[in-house]
């Protein structure tokens, strides 16, 4: 159990330090000998409007059009995380928007040319080593919320608000 707890803490630190979750998960997978190609599998195709809070974080008027996608990030057959992602589609180049609509490429990989940075809003730990389920640990380890900024019109601007849930497969 101590090894899993150390892995969870190391993963959390890697995610805090990374410019994108995709980059952190790819490095994590590579360090474990897993497939380092991270894919985003859509879980929901319906658009969820951004709440007023999310719109404020994105710097858009409440009710303004935003993009949304809910995905699982995978490494091979392993599901590593789930992510709700609201994005300011008007600030993204068309190839990025097309990739978000139609592809398996994670958001972080699509926006890499925009030099993304993550501004952490909060972390919620869903598991502690002393808490045991029937399988030793729960499915969900922790949740992160962040604003992702990147280059837009020559300046840094909010591109997305993400709510990410990291899963037990990462601690094995």
Mean pLDDT across the stretch 38-63? 91
Q: Is 19 exposed, middle or buried (0-12, 13-18, 19+ CB in 10 A)?
A: middle
pLDDT value of residue 137: 61
Domain ranges of the chain: 2-171
Instruction: Select the CATH number that applies to the domain covering 2-171 from these four: 3.40.1410.10, 3.30.930.10, 3.90.76.10, 1.10.8.50.
Output: 3.40.1410.10
The DSSP letter of residue 115 is -
The model's pLDDT over 78-107, given as tens digits with 9 standing for 90+, comes to: 999 999 999 999 999 999 999 999 889 999
pLDDT value of residue 63: 86
The residue among 85, 139, 89 whose CA lies nearest residue 108 is: 85
Integer distance in angstroms from the first to the last C-alpha of the chain?
10
Supply the angle between the helices 21-31 and 2-17 in degrees, to the nearest 10.
Answer: 140
- Residue 34: phi and psi, rounded to 5, are -90, 175
The residue among 50, 47, 51 whose CA lies nearest residue 69 is: 47
Report the sign of the C-alpha dihedral through residues 66, 70, 76, 81, in that order: positive
Rounded to two decimals, the pTM is: 0.90
8: pLDDT confidence band, cut at 50, 70 and 90?
A: confident
């Amino acid at each position: 159990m101590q090894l899993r707890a150390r892995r969870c803490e190391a993963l959390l630190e890697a995610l805090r330090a990374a410019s994108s979750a995709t980059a952190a998960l790819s490095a994590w997978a590579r360090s474990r000998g897993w497939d380092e190609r991270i894919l985003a599998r859509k879980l929901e195709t319906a658009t969820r409007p951004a709440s007023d809070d999310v719109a404020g974080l994105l710097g858009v008027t409440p009710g303004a059009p935003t993009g949304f996608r809910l995905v699982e990030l995978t490494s091979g057959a392993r599901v590593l995380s789930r992510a709700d992602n609201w994005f300011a589609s008007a600030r993204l180049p068309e190839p990025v928007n097309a990739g978000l609509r139609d592809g398996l490429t994670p958001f972080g990989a699509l926006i890499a040319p925009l030099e993304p940075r993550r501004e952490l809003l909060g972390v919620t730990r869903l598991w502690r080593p002393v808490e045991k389920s029937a399988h030793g640990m729960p499915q969900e380890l922790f949740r992160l919320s962040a604003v992702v900024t990147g280059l837009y019109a020559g300046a840094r601007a909010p591109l997305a608000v993400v709510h990410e849930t990291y899963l037990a497969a990462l601690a094995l």
